[in-house]
């Protein structure tokens, strides 16, 4: 799995880390691949707090302001992870964006 990661084969590295039972490293490989659809799917399937937070943090780096599904997924992942402080920070930035937009 480490060899695949070094070679840039992040999807394959994710698969191998998952088979080895290290889901967090597998998720980090997926994050490097940038495949949003697979990241969302993997987070939903893994049902792990740390993975939910990693996925939500990644989704925030995307254009979530113009994509309601991405925003919904961010809220869902933070809620599932019970990461209330990060969720409140997200809502803070969302509210600020709305305020700036309507000035």
pLDDT score of 101: 85
Q: How far is CA 61 from the centre of its chain?
A: 9
pTM: 0.89
- Residue 54 region by backbone torsions, left for phi larger than 0, else alpha for psi between -120 and 50, else beta: alpha
d(CA 4, CA 74): 29
Residues 75/88, Cβ–Cβ less than 8 Å: no
Mean pLDDT of 56-80: 94
Give me the mean pLDDT over the 48-58 stretch.
96
């Amino acid at each position: 799995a480490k060899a695949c990661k070094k070679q840039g084969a992040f999807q394959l590295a994710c698969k191998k880390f998952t088979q080895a039972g290290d889901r967090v490293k597998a998720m980090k490989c997926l994050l490097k691949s940038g495949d949003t659809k697979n990241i969302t799917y993997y987070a939903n399937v893994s049902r792990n707090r740390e993975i939910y937070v990693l996925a939500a943090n990644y989704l925030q780096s995307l254009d979530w302001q113009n994509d309601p599904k991405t925003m919904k997924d961010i809220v869902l992942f933070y809620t599932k992870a019970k990461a209330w402080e990060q969720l409140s920070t997200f809502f803070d930035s969302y509210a600020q964006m709305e305020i700036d937009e309507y000035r």
